[in-house]
Amino acid sequence: MNFTLAELAEAADGVLSPPDAAATEIVGLSIDSRTIGRGDLFVPLVADRDGHTFVRSALNAGASAFLTAVDDDRLDLGPEHHHAPRIRVTDTAEALTAIGALARSRMTGPVIGITGSVGKTSVKDLTRAACGGGAGGVDGPLVWASTRSFNNEIGVPLTLANAPDGVDISIVEMGARGIGHIAMLCATARPTIGVITTVALAHSELFGSIEAVAQAKGELIEALPPDGAAVLYADNPHVMSIVERSPAPVITFGVAPDADVRVSEVKLDRSLHPTFQLSSGGESRTITVPVAGAHMAINAAAAVATAVAAGISFERATDQVGAVELSPWRMEVATTPTGALIVNDAYNANPTSMRAALAALTETGATRLVAVVGEMAELGEEGPTEHTAIAAEAAAAGIRVVAIGSPAYGPDAEHVADINEALAALGDLGGDAAVLVKGSRVARLEGLAERLVNPTH
């Protein structure tokens, strides 16, 4: 979205210098000097590292201006950038939030907020596809969503601020690490459509109970306007328990007979892509989505229900959802040079998503099933029980479990220290094998999946 520096300084309650830079146009925002584009505003955040250290790098990369919360004598700009435009603010993160709110005020079409214990990013990607994701005009509405999991107090305003001018439909992920977090994000994003993918045991170390998770996720629904829409997972009782908190009409999705958008007859092909029936309002369509796992049929239903709430016809939404491209490391299916199937779901893990991924693995038709797993983080007191239960369930289903650096999986798993040991334990993998790679971000197992698929890299 294009802004002038004068507009940004006013929104952020900052001081612009030099004053004659007021008309300078900003075409985007970035918090990372490595991703700066020409004409961007650099926002240096102060966290583990002080982003002010990278202002000079951002300017060298083409940034037109920067925010700053420090005096000029603490900035290493070099003589070439001594007079570079800047907006001085009290706190750069708070200024970013204010700029995100300014961007939101310019949006006239639906703003879709998506939250849930699992599936946020997949549903975001599928919703973008179902809405059309076109460039406007004859190709459909101009749809905007972040290409990464920008779902916190930094990512949400960045997503809003980087939306193109004239955007028709905006899609924003919303994560929560405690009660009140989603309400805070909603104050900036002001969603008109709210989607809850599911409520499950995730981050319980932070929330304390699944009821607290439901309380937090429901903050999205409470923030909706009366003329908006709440899109809820009909098969999850914790989700449905918050229906009365919605001031907006409710649309449900799932396999439940009374779901407004209902999934049935799910079948998986060799690549685990689901083909299924999707029914709504007397219409029924058979569709296939090119993403792995039977649970993706539910995610697709959520996306279609959301697209319909945003004004897209059911027929068009079901036609378009099959054009999805998921964000990386989410049920990516590839084949090794020796013919083994690799399911890379290394982006994150909790008990619900782990069970769904293991179920998908059993549908591959392979005779040798292996799950290489890492820690499921932030489960609190439930962690040890859930890890051992997952390993036991996998073993009962005929899946060999190889756990990397996570002894909590217990006696039903083989335990190795690192990726190299895991590769050695796997040995030769032929066309009769299918391997799931999955763990929380702290495990960083995407490197293992890459080495399995491209062993020479």
Structure tokens belonging to residue 348:
């994150």
Supply φ then ψ for residue 428, to 5 degrees: -80, 130
CA atoms of 281 and 99, how far apart (whole Å) = 40
How much is the pTM? Answer: 0.82
Say if residue 455 is preceded by a cis peptide, omega within 30 of 0: no
CA atoms of 231 and 250, how far apart (whole Å) = 6
Strand 229-233 versus strand 65-68 pairing type = unpaired
Question: What kind and span of H or E run contains 226?
Answer: none
In the chain, which residues fall in CATH 3.40.1190.10?
107-321
240 CB-near residues (< 8 Å, 6+ apart): 232, 233, 234, 252
How many Cα atoms are found within 13 Å in the side-chain-facing hemisphere of 222?
A: 14
Neighbours of 141 (CB within 10 A): 21
Supply φ then ψ for residue 92, to 5 degrees: -70, -35
In the chain, which residues fall in CATH 3.90.190.20?
332-453
**Which stretches within 202-280 are classed as H helix?**
204-207, 210-222, 237-240
Q: Which CATH number fits domain 3-90: 3.40.50.300, 3.30.1060.10, 3.40.1390.10, 3.30.56.10?
A: 3.40.1390.10
Give the Cα-Cα-Cα angle 125, 437, 418 (nearest 5 degrees): 130
Q: Check if the beta carbon of residue 125 is closer than 8 Å to that of residue 324.
A: yes
Strand 111-115 versus strand 86-88 pairing type = unpaired
Which architecture characterizes domain 107-321 according to CATH?
Answer: 3-Layer(aba) Sandwich (3.40)
Task: Name which of 75, 90, 77, 103 is nearest 2 in CA terms.
Answer: 103
In tens digits, the chain (457 residues) has pLDDT values of: 999 999 999 999 999 999 999 999 999 999 999 999 999 999 999 988 899 999 999 999 999 999 999 998 899 998 999 899 999 999 999 999 999 999 999 999 999 999 998 889 899 999 999 998 654 444 678 999 987 778 899 999 999 999 999 999 999 999 887 899 999 999 999 999 999 999 986 555 666 688 888 999 999 999 999 999 999 999 999 999 999 999 999 999 999 999 999 999 999 887 888 999 999 999 999 999 988 888 899 999 999 999 999 999 999 999 999 888 777 667 888 899 999 999 998 888 888 889 988 998 998 889 999 999 999 887 878 888 999 999 999 999 999 999 999 999 999 999 999 999 999 999 999 999 999 999 887 888 988 989 999 887 6
Structure tokens belonging to residue 203:
């981050």
What is the three-class DSSP state of 456? Answer: coil
Q: Check if the beta carbon of residue 270 is closer than 8 Å to that of residue 364.
A: yes
DSSP characters for 100-122?
HHHHHHT--S-EEEEE-SS-HHH
User: Max alpha carbon distance in the chain (Å)?
Assistant: 71
221-277 pLDDT, tens per residue? 999 999 999 999 999 999 999 999 999 999 999 999 999 999 999 998 878 889 999
In the chain, which residues fall in CATH 3.40.1390.10?
3-90
CA atoms of 15 and 85, how far apart (whole Å) = 11
Task: Report the top-level CATH class of 332-453.
Answer: alpha beta
CA atoms of 217 and 236, how far apart (whole Å) = 13
CA atoms of 292 and 266, how far apart (whole Å) = 12
